[in-house]
Structure 1
Amino acid sequence: MDTEKYQALVQAAEQGSITAAARSLGYSPSGLTRMLDSLEREVGFPLLARTSQGVRLTREGEGLLPSIRGLLYWSRQIREQCNGILGLDQGELFVGSYYSIASCWLPGILREFQKDYPGIRVHVQEAGNQTLLEGLREHRLSCCLFSRHPGYQGDWVPLYEDRLVAWVPEDHPLAQKKALLPEDLEGQPFIEPLPQQETDTDLFLDKYQVHPDFRFTTSNMYTCWTMVEAGLGLSMDNAFSSRRWNGKVKVLPFATPDRLELGMALPSLAQASPALKKFLEYVKKGVG
């Protein structure tokens, strides 16, 4: 099945602009407009609402979007399986990842992977738990590298055991401790990383019923680190990512048995495309 029109619709909806979508897909704006008009004639009703600010999906388009994403996902699966049968190492992967994993693991893994499989294109999306889980559910992502989440129903490949640590300004009284208790965070000025993403930090604080004083939020972990260094508050992240940076921040473990399992989530290992199975092999080698 020719899915170019559906891919064009998804790009236009995600970017909110026909011009931007055309640029991403390598079409002229007029060419992409004709393609979308043709798709709307085929289905028999408008899929995009055009305004002076750009484009957005109509109610009917919103209703079809999950099915369209599924169509594009299975179309890629079929294409890659056919390439595998023909002995062609081609394909396309959409990899979701924590920021820490993307910066620490992926560069080396992708370097080795591309040496052997230059025909497989890889797109990396860095985000928090909720965005990554949504990407898996909607088939926008082939796989995700993050910590095991209790709400995920697909397949899981464990890769690395980690733990949460506290980030404390060097001149803070808590910096003198060798390890923190969860209750040490109660009422403390706190910088919340990746708000509304149900992060590992959120789950930890909920588990121990701890309520810091959320003074700031940020979606960038390095910004969070520098804010702690500036004395604006405490924060948390996994120990794995905390090794990357230097500065006037004390990284302290928690005196609890909690551990994080970092790994790869994917809808189905048995039904994974040849490209994804090959990529998983390189991830295992790169982490191990």
Structure 2
Amino acid sequence: MDTKKLAVFQEAIKNGSLKKTAEKLNYTQSGLIYMMNSLEDEFGIHLLNRTTKGIELTQEGILLEPYIKKIVDCEEELTKVIADIHKEGTKKIRIGAYPIYACHYLPTIMKSFLVDNPENEITIRVATADNLSKMLEEDEVDLAVGEKGLIKNTDWIFLMKYEIYAALPQTIKLADDVEAVTYDLLKDYPLLFSSYNKVSEHVEEMLGKGKEKPYKINVASEDGSALLSMVEEGLGIAFLSSLYLRECPDTVRMLPLDPHITRELGVILKPEKKKSVQIKKFIEYLQKQQY
């Protein structure tokens, strides 16, 4: 059904004349008559009576006119809403982030954003890399803050660099001037691995898969704080983002690895999400944050 015909039909009813309507809408009178005849053919119903005074609705036309008006009004409202979305967005933003980023950076960023944009609504989903990937693919979040290369066929906007550190319990005595943990040192101690930072395979490769190593504990946790607690109890050495330096207790020492493992953290989103005005605004606040 061509809603343009319905809108012209409504205008003709309002004017009471096909001639006046044609002049107002810049149609030829014959073209307008053809359009109205086409609408009647499409419905299979006679809608208008032509009289010497102009036009008037038939009984069938009187019955259908309120419904036609609803369709025309709804299309006008839809057009307005679409224009508003293009101009301002939906005012709702769904964000996925790692626990440590959500804890230390998002609160400040959100506060600043909402002070300037109080009409917005923000939803935060805290998750591991695997879950962030799933959330983006299934459109459960509009954007995620995660590592570069985490998800294929997405755009990525750089925010910061960080390192993977070794977290050591106080039972491991190192000289005060030691500035990094070598892989040779790791061979002598039990290791705690978590899937959240994806360094397990890398570290094991550096250690050498064919060599004897102490026991290994795999920890399925979305939060590195659990690993810090285990390190504090002397269970072994864990591998954590340098972002956890702010949470490190006095009984745990965090040092970079030698050679270093560096990661990049940024905004991940599908290309079509970049069209949203509100998402663009929020990304600007993420980029302004001091890291």
* TM-score normalised to structure 1 length: 0.63
Aligned runs of 1:110-129 on 2, under 5 Å? 110-129=110-129
Paired letter, 1:98: Y
In the alignment, does 2:283 pair up with 1:285? no
2:70 paired residue number: none
Distance 1:175 1:111, change over 3 A: farther
Aligned runs of 1:92-241 on 2, under 5 Å? 92-149=92-149, 151-173=151-173, 177-186=178-187, 188-193=189-194, 195=195, 197=196, 199-205=197-203, 207-208=205-206, 213-215=215-217, 217-219=219-221, 220-241=223-244
Larger Rg: 2
Distance 1:88 1:267, change over 3 A: closer
Residue 168 of structure 2 contacts residue 236 of structure 2 at CA under 8 Å; is this kept in 1?
Answer: yes
Distance 1:215 1:269, change over 3 A: same
**Structure 2 CA distance for aligned equivalents of residues 81 and 191 of structure 1:** 52
Q: CA deviation at 1:174?
A: 5.3
Residues 109-128 of structure 1 show CA distances to partners (whole Å, capped at 9, x for unaligned) of 00011111122211111111
2:279 paired residue number: 276
Residues 93-149 of structure 1 show CA distances to partners (whole Å, capped at 9, x for unaligned) of 111111111011100000011111122211111111111111111111111112223
**Structure 1 CA distance for aligned equivalents of residues 169 and 80 of structure 2:** 52
Q: Which of these residues, 252, 273, 287, is aligned with residue 255 of structure 2?
A: 252
Report SS of the residue matched to 1:276. helix
Unaligned runs of 5+ in 2: 1-78
Residues 36-58 of structure 1 show CA distances to partners (whole Å, capped at 9, x for unaligned) of xxxxxxxxxxxxxxxxxxxxxxx
Residues 146-167 of structure 1 show CA distances to partners (whole Å, capped at 9, x for unaligned) of 2223553311111111111000
**Structure 1 CA distance for aligned equivalents of residues 140 and 289 of structure 2:** 24
Residue 80 of structure 1 contacts residue 90 of structure 1 at CA under 8 Å; is this kept in 2?
Answer: no
Q: CA deviation at 1:201?
A: 2.1
**Structure 1 CA distance for aligned equivalents of residues 275 and 204 of structure 2:** 34
**Structure 2 CA distance for aligned equivalents of residues 80 and 100 of structure 1:** 38
Say what the alpha-carbon RMSD is for the aligned residues: 2.8
Q: CA deviation at 1:276?
A: 0.9
**Structure 1 CA distance for aligned equivalents of residues 89 and 153 of structure 2:** 30
Residues 195-225 of structure 1 show CA distances to partners (whole Å, capped at 9, x for unaligned) of 3x5x332353255255663225141321221
Residue 186 of structure 1 contacts residue 210 of structure 1 at CA under 8 Å; is this kept in 2?
Answer: no
**Structure 1 CA distance for aligned equivalents of residues 82 and 286 of structure 2:** 20
Distance 1:225 1:104, change over 3 A: same
**Structure 1 CA distance for aligned equivalents of residues 130 and 81 of structure 2:** 28
1:42 paired residue number: none
Aligned length: 207
Unaligned runs of 5+ in 1: 1-77
**Structure 1 CA distance for aligned equivalents of residues 135 and 80 of structure 2:** 21
Paired letter, 1:258: I
Distance 1:163 1:263, change over 3 A: same
Residue 142 of structure 2 contacts residue 273 of structure 2 at CA under 8 Å; is this kept in 1?
Answer: no
Residue 92 of structure 1 contacts residue 120 of structure 1 at CA under 8 Å; is this kept in 2?
Answer: yes
**Structure 2 CA distance for aligned equivalents of residues 82 and 89 of structure 1:** 9
Residues 211-254 of structure 1 show CA distances to partners (whole Å, capped at 9, x for unaligned) of 66322514132122121111111101111222233320010111
Residue 166 of structure 1 contacts residue 237 of structure 1 at CA under 8 Å; is this kept in 2?
Answer: yes
**Structure 1 CA distance for aligned equivalents of residues 170 and 219 of structure 2:** 20
